[in-house]
């Protein structure tokens, strides 16, 4: 063994060891989120929506970025959590946190049941099945519109959080911190999962499934577990999405919801958790605020979003965060 390989081996091991440690720069997104609250009260609902979508994208990143399960039907879980929370509130169960917890349970259950079938397949078949699940639930919610409100949706109210902080339907104060708190929580859960041996084995499955079989990893079980975790987190995101807005429509099950969140994740970069933060924020801001600069005659936002996506795919195939990878690597090498 030469000295050079020993050093790189040592470097790789050290990199693995320090991967789970918090770095100072990880405070940056949270600092921005806190600043946005105070700086842009007029965009607070939009900002709240961004926080919730980040949580949704993180849950998708667990299966797409880490386990390599590409899904075009993740809104199935988002929508199930959302409808659980909304229908409970509509029926009189107005306590938000327990409704949210139940949303996580129903979405997780759906993930467990559907994962049983979906995860037996691979690649295109799997993609089609995830999509099919989303479409089935969408049609179901549409047809049961006496209960779900269907296309028009329903408005409902939640009681104050912990009996102390009522939801604010105009300035979204409590609503913002509610979404913020659960984003922090969801992020910490996801971060723990991906840095645990469980998460490392998922990466192994993604990179070389045969080898993981060969060394005795219960591949199928690991996939199903992460699928349930991702589904439950998506359910939490869905529940918060409707609770902070006090309104639900079948839009939560729409294919666009599944498609857009995947695009946002890819835009930011998969398999790195923070990609969700960047992708969702950039996409949502381009989608919603293009018109405040360029007007609505004609509406340019689709063009702007489209160009941003094409440019990203061409010049930053690993997502917007991936752009920084070579820089960081060079910086590390120099400092080492």
Partner 1 sequence: MLKHTTGLILAGAVAFAATAEAREIKVGFIAPKSGGAAQLGDQMEKGARLYMKLHAKDLGGDTIKLIVRDSKRPGGPIAKAAAQELIAREKVEILGGVIFSPNAMSIAPLVTAAKVPFVIMNAGTAFITKLSPNIARVSFTMWQAGYIMGEHAAKEMGCKTAISGYTNYPPGKDSVAAFARGFEGAGGKVIDSIPMGGPREAPDFTPFFQRVKDKKPGCFYVFVPAGNHAAGVAKTYLSLGMRKAGVKLIGPGDITQDTQLQGMGKAAVGVITAHHYHADLATPENQAFVKAWKAAYGAKSTPDFVGVGGYDGMAAVFHIIKSAKGGKITADSAIGALKGWHFNSPRGPITIDPETREIVQNVYVAQVYEDKGMLRQKKLKTFEAVKDKCKELKIGRCGK
What is the nearest approach in angstroms of partner 1 to the Cβ of residue 72?
Answer: 18
Nearer to partner 1, 30 or 255 (CB): 255
What is the nearest approach in angstroms of partner 1 to the Cβ of residue 18?
Answer: 39
| Cα torsion 224, 225, 230, 234: sign | positive
Of the candidate residues 256, 306, 310, 329, the single one contacting partner 1 (CB under 8 A): 256
What is the nearest approach in angstroms of partner 1 to the Cβ of residue 250?
Answer: 8
Residues 6 or more apart whose CB falls under 8 angstroms from that of 190 comprise 58, 59, 61, 62, 233, 273
For the segment 177-236, give every residue that binds partner 1 (CB under 8 A): none
Phi, psi dihedrals of residue 296, rounded to the nearest 5°:
-115, 5
> How far, in Å, CA of 319 to CA of 183, rounded?
21
What is the nearest approach in angstroms of partner 1 to the Cβ of residue 99?
Answer: 18
Of the candidate residues 30, 46, 135, 200, the single one contacting partner 1 (CB under 8 A): 46
> How far, in Å, CA of 319 to CA of 279, rounded?
8
Site string for partner 1, 257-296 (x = CB under 8 A): ------------------------------xx--x---xx
What's the angle, vertex CA 157, arms to CA 156 and CA 159, rounded to 5?
155
- Using CB under 8 A, which of the segments 37-45, 158-166, 206-214, 229-237 binds partner 1? 37-45
Burial 142-178 (b: 16+ CB within 10 A, else e): eeeeeebbeeebbebebeebeeeeebeeeebbbbbbb
Nearer to partner 1, 209 or 304 (CB): 304
Nearer to partner 1, 155 or 159 (CB): 155
Using rule CB under 8 A, residue 246 touches partner 1:
yes
Beta bridge partners of 161: 165
What is the nearest approach in angstroms of partner 1 to the Cβ of residue 45?
Answer: 4
Q: At what angle do helices 96-118 and 75-90 cross, to 10 degrees?
A: 150
Give the Å distances, CA to CA, from 310 to 61, 255, 272, 298, 304.
Answer: 21, 21, 21, 21, 10
Using rule CB under 8 A, residue 171 touches partner 1:
yes
**Which parts of 271-320 fold into alpha helices (H)?**
274-294, 301-315
Beta bridge partners of 321: none
For the segment 11-30, give every residue that binds partner 1 (CB under 8 A): none
Using rule CB under 8 A, residue 302 touches partner 1:
yes
- Using CB under 8 A, which of the segments 111-119, 167-175, 187-195, 318-326 binds partner 1? 167-175
For the segment 59-118, give every residue that binds partner 1 (CB under 8 A): none
- Using CB under 8 A, which of the segments 18-26, 35-43, 114-122, 307-315 binds partner 1? 35-43
Of the candidate residues 35, 91, 123, 152, the single one contacting partner 1 (CB under 8 A): 152
CB 59 within 8 A of CB 233: yes
Of the candidate residues 66, 77, 78, 172, the single one contacting partner 1 (CB under 8 A): 172
Residues 6 or more apart whose CB falls under 8 angstroms from that of 92 comprise none
Contacts with partner 1 by CB under 8 A lie at: 40-46, 49, 142-143, 145, 150-155, 169-172, 241, 245-251, 254, 256, 287-288, 291, 295-299, 301-302
């Amino acid at each position: 063994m030469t000295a050079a390989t020993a050093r790189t081996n040592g470097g790789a091991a050290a990199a693995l060891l320090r991967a789970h440690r918090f770095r100072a720069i990880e405070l940056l997104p949270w600092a921005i989120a806190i600043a946005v609250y105070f700086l842009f009260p007029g965009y607070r609902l939009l900002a709240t929506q961004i926080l919730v979508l980040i949580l949704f994208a993180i849950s998708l990143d667990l299966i797409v970025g880490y386990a390599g399960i590409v899904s075009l039907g993740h809104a199935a879980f988002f929508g199930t959590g959302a409808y659980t929370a909304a229908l409970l509130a509509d029926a009189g169960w107005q306590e938000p946190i327990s409704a949210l917890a139940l949303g996580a349970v129903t979405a997780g259950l759906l993930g467990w049941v559907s994962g049983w079938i979906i995860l037996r397949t691979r690649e295109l078949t799997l993609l089609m099945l995830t999509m099919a699940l989303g479409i089935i639930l969408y049609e179901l919610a549409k047809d049961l519109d006496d209960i779900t409100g269907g296309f028009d949706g329903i408005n409902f109210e939640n009681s104050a959080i912990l009996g102390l902080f009522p939801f604010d339907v105009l300035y979204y104060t409590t609503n913002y911190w509610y979404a913020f708190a659960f984003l922090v929580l969801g992020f910490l859960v996801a971060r723990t999962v991906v840095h645990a041996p469980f998460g490392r084995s998922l990466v192994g499955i993604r990179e070389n499934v045969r080898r993981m079989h060969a060394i005795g990893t219960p591949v199928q079980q690991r996939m199903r577990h992460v699928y349930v975790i991702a589904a439950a987190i998506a359910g939490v995101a869905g529940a918060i999405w409707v609770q902070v807005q006090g309104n639900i429509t079948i839009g939560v099950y729409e294919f666009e919801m599944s498609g857009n969140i995947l695009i946002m994740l890819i835009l930011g970069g998969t398999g790195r958790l923070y990609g969700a933060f960047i992708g969702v924020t950039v996409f949502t801001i381009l989608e919603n605020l293009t018109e405040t600069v360029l007007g609505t005659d004609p509406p340019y936002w689709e063009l702007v979003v489209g160009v941003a996506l094409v440019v990203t795919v061409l010049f930053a195939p690993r997502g917007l965060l991936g752009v920084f990878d070579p820089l960081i690597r060079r910086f590390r090498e120099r400092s080492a």
